Amino acid sequence: MLNVSARQHQFDMLVRAHASDLYRFAYWLCGEDARAQDLVQETFLRAWRALDSLRDGAAAKPWLLTILRREHARAFERKRLDLGELDEGIADDASGIDPERAGSDAQVRAAILQLEPKYREPLLMQVLGGFSCEEIAAELHCKPGAVMTQLFRARQKLRALLEGDEGMNQKEASHGLP
């Protein structure tokens, strides 16, 4: 077991090296700034408690991303959804539009969020997490070939969603629709 100051130093290095990657991945998983920050905090809290189990520093990023994915899944296990009726009189406040949700980045983000989780998660792990197919397969408990298929299909579906949006916008423009 590490002494307290060495353990603290190791943990500080982990936080500095991986906090921004964890936040980016968490934000893509949940789509909310505050929730993403909470997920990262919970991830680091669990990582602190289990720091002695991290044997290889090179494995820190996959280890932290696994903790984050599991913490995100736990939120859905605990959450009870209220299925009440929505108020139809709620108006959108255009002044509160998040810059993240404007422009082509927003279209890509919206399209990714439309993907089924079995396609979205490996895609995000590869693109945002930098995981290889083998690493994704190990995390998702499946074969690398299955991951490659999911990634291929995720890209196809994403392309179709994005081209559908562009095709719809071009069609509207040709008909003089706003």
More confident residue, 81 or 114: 114
Quote the pLDDT of residue 53: 85
The per-residue pLDDT for 45 is 92
Residue 93 lies in a domain: no
113: in domain: yes
The confidence score (pLDDT) of residue 72 equals 85
What SS3 state is found at 128? coil
Q: Are residues 1 and 73 in the same domain?
A: yes
CB 13 within 8 A of CB 5: no
Domain assignment present for residue 160? The answer is yes
Same domain for 68 and 112, yes or no, is: no
Task: Tell me the two tokens of residue 117.
Answer: 């989780």
pLDDT band, very low/low/confident/very high, at 78 (cuts 50, 70, 90): low
pLDDT tens for each residue of 82-94? 555 544 444 444 4
Provide, rounded to the nearest whole percent, the portion of the chain with pLDDT above 70.
75
Total domains in the chain come to 2
Task: Give, as one character, the DSSP assignment of residue 88.
Answer: T
Q: Is there a single domain that holds both residue 136 and residue 70?
A: no
Q: pTM for the complete prediction?
A: 0.56
Asked if the model's pLDDT at residue 153 lies above 90, the reply is yes
Token pair of 112, please?
Answer: 């990714």
In a domain, 122, yes or no: yes
Residue 39: CB atoms within 10 Å: 25
Residue-range definition of the domain harbouring residue 36: 1-78
Could you tell me if residue 96 is inside a domain?
no
46-68 confidence digits (pLDDT tens): 998 988 888 787 888 888 988 99
Residues 111 and 145 in one domain: yes
CATH code of 131's domain: 1.10.10.10
